[in-house]
Chains A and B, each alone.
Chain A
Amino acid sequence: MHIVDGALAPEVLIGGGGLAVAGLGLGLRKLPIDKIPATGVLSATFFVASLIHVPVGPSSVHLIMSGLAGLVLGWTAFPALFVGLLLQAIFFGFGGLTVLGVNTVNIAFPAVLAGLLFRGMVARVPPVPAAVLGGVAGAFSIALTTLFVAIALGLSGDAFIPAAKLVFFAHIPIMIVEGLVSAASVYLIAKVKPALLQPADPVEDFQMQAAVLRANQAEQTPNG
């Protein structure tokens, strides 16, 4: 899923970097200071997801769970997943520095899109249909991610197109597994803590804004 440095054309790298910066800016604007701890902890959770290996056929794959990240975090999934990818790139050597933008867009944008598409519906229905929708969201975001990877490779040269096709078809079992695991996760969350899947309501949003205003005022007074 990670593309490495050196394969993509400069235009693709710059385009991906620009989109990633835009997405990060938008995601950070939707991240009030009250939400930073929760988002950080969830970002850590999705990092841990990438350390969980699930058997698929004779081999095993690690979870990505970007669909669920989108459902739970919405737009803030963008910075949350970016942080995870940054840490993976620097400390584990997965992916690289110049492709960080492209990789972030490939993983985080489908997550955000899955969140925007399915969040409203998931919040309104009982657990079982919510689980089905969650599964669809999980499989959808992985499918979109592989599609984006394929597009990024295809745009970098015609020679990559067969490899891009291979990437897409090799990921079909992963889509299915991610869908099943996401469905079960959403079912459990809908049963145990349905508030996690509810979109933020306007009153709460206002309170967040108030917190930001208070923080700005606090910053102007000399403190610590």
Chain B
Amino acid sequence: MSHLFGHDHPLNVKAGVGNPIAFVERFDPRARVLAACVFAIVVVALQQIEFALCALALAAMTMSLTDPPWRVTLKRMAAMDGFIIVMLIMLPFTTPGTPMFTVFGAEASKEGLMHAILVGIRANAVVLMMLSLLAGMTPVTLGHALYRLKCPAALVHLMMFTVRYISVLHDEYHRLRMAMKLRGFKARNNAHTYRSFGYLFGMLVVRSLERAERVLEAMKCRGFSGHFPLIDDMAFRRRDGLFAVIFLALITALVLLDRIYVFAY
């Protein structure tokens, strides 16, 4: 089983069987999904760097309540920062405003720099909170939570199939790639490489569809009628309600302070 999603057993409903459960993991998945969504919506609406920093601190606090090796979470956040760094560096030079310093004849404005910092903090806060609250649950638990939150059943089933077969097809890809390697294939910058990768992916698609046909036959054989029973033991307990209230109070305070600040100054 591959470790793509950062779980030893991504298809289990419970994460990390046998290990002590992290504090964040003890809350109802539905509450965590909703909390992450509300947090994201509120944070992208924040206008002041100070309050965006508060949000980032809140996300960091949540991360400190997840399982201790935070290396993976931080690595993923760094990867995301790699995506946006070019855009953030360009912003000061493209926003009109009071000039601050010049690099190679291009003027950087204060407003642009502030905007870039704000965007960077908001992006990091949302991703950190999302990874802390949601990445700890297995993809299957996430599917169950979405189903209980009234997502269309077809979409949830589609997601379950996707999750189930990603690791299978990733292994298949590694097998095909190994076979290519044994035949002396080395990825270079030439048409042969691109053609080989194209054949590789085409073969992957063909094999996956043949696999899907077998899966459907097997499912029909067992009387599949368009619905899977999704069995879980989610229960919204008092501590989930408490978590929801505290979380909501914190982010409401954050957004209210932010708005008051905007109006006051």
Chain A residues with a Cβ under 8 A of chain B: 2, 4-8, 10, 13, 24, 28, 31, 33-34, 36-45, 47-49, 51-52, 54-57, 60, 63, 65, 68, 72, 79-80, 82-84, 86-87, 89-94, 96-98, 153, 158-163, 166, 177, 180-189, 192-193, 196, 212, 214-215, 218-219, 223-224
Query: Judging by beta carbons under 8 Å apart, are A44 and B199 in contact?
Result: no
With A38-B209, A224-B229 already in contact, the answer to whether A97 and B40 are too (CB < 8 A) is yes
Q: Is B58 an interface residue (CB 8 A)?
A: no
With A28-B154, A34-B216, A38-B216 already in contact, the answer to whether A193 and B206 are too (CB < 8 A) is yes
Query: Judging by beta carbons under 8 Å apart, are A97 and B173 in contact?
Result: no
**How many angstroms from the CA of A223 to the CA of B225 in the assembled complex?**
10
Q: Is B83 an interface residue (CB 8 A)?
A: yes
**B139: which A residues are within 8 A, CB to CB?**
87, 91
Q: Is B241 an interface residue (CB 8 A)?
A: no
Query: Judging by beta carbons under 8 Å apart, are A5 and B162 in contact?
Result: no
Write the chain B residue with the least CB distance to A224. B229
Q: Is B131 an interface residue (CB 8 A)?
A: yes
Query: Judging by beta carbons under 8 Å apart, are B94 and A161 in contact?
Result: yes
With A45-B204, A186-B202 already in contact, the answer to whether A196 and B209 are too (CB < 8 A) is yes
**How many angstroms from the CA of A117 to the CA of B90 in the assembled complex?**
36
* Closest Cβ–Cβ distance, residue A12 to chain B (whole Å): 11
Write the chain B residue with the least CB distance to A178. B194
Query: Judging by beta carbons under 8 Å apart, are B126 and A181 in contact?
Result: no
Chain B residues with a Cβ under 8 A of chain A: 4-6, 36-37, 40-41, 43-45, 73, 76-77, 79-80, 83-84, 86-87, 90-91, 93-96, 112, 115, 118-123, 125-127, 130-131, 134-135, 139, 142, 152, 154-155, 157-166, 168-170, 173, 187-189, 191, 193-206, 208-213, 215-216, 219, 223-227, 229
With A7-B84, A31-B158, A184-B195 already in contact, the answer to whether A45 and B152 are too (CB < 8 A) is no
* Closest Cβ–Cβ distance, residue B78 to chain A (whole Å): 9
**B188: which A residues are within 8 A, CB to CB?**
55
Judged by DSSP, the binding face of A is helix
**How many angstroms from the CA of A93 to the CA of B87 in the assembled complex?**
18
**B198: which A residues are within 8 A, CB to CB?**
180-185, 187-188
Query: Judging by beta carbons under 8 Å apart, are A68 and B205 in contact?
Result: yes
Task: Find A215's partner among B95, B121, B225 (CB 8 Å cutoff).
Answer: B225
Write the chain A residue with the least CB distance to B90. A163
Query: Judging by beta carbons under 8 Å apart, are B225 and A6 in contact?
Result: no
Task: Find B202's partner among A34, A54, A185 (CB 8 Å cutoff).
Answer: A185
**How many angstroms from the CA of A215 to the CA of B219 in the assembled complex?**
13
**B40: which A residues are within 8 A, CB to CB?**
5, 96-98
Q: Which 8 A-B pairs have the closest CB atoms?
A: A184-B198, A40-B161, A6-B122, A188-B202, A33-B226, A185-B202, A215-B226, A44-B165
Write the chain B residue with the least CB distance to A170. B86
* Closest Cβ–Cβ distance, residue A150 to chain B (whole Å): 12
With A63-B201, A98-B44, A196-B205 already in contact, the answer to whether A91 and B212 are too (CB < 8 A) is no
User: Known contacts A4-B84, A96-B126; can you find 5 more A-B pairs with CB under 8 A?
Assistant: A28-B154, A40-B212, A56-B189, A87-B162, A189-B202
**How many angstroms from the CA of A31 to the CA of B152 in the assembled complex?**
12
**B80: which A residues are within 8 A, CB to CB?**
4, 93-94
**How many angstroms from the CA of A89 to the CA of B79 in the assembled complex?**
12
**A219: which B residues are within 8 A, CB to CB?**
225-227
Write the chain B residue with the least CB distance to A191. B202
Query: Judging by beta carbons under 8 Å apart, are A196 and B206 in contact?
Result: yes
Query: Judging by beta carbons under 8 Å apart, are B159 and A37 in contact?
Result: no
With A40-B164, A83-B159 already in contact, the answer to whether A7 and B119 are too (CB < 8 A) is yes
**B130: which A residues are within 8 A, CB to CB?**
89-90, 93, 96-97
* Closest Cβ–Cβ distance, residue A95 to chain B (whole Å): 8
Query: Judging by beta carbons under 8 Å apart, are B123 and A5 in contact?
Result: yes
* Closest Cβ–Cβ distance, residue B195 to chain A (whole Å): 4
**How many angstroms from the CA of A4 to the CA of B127 in the assembled complex?**
9
**B215: which A residues are within 8 A, CB to CB?**
37, 41
* Closest Cβ–Cβ distance, residue B157 to chain A (whole Å): 5
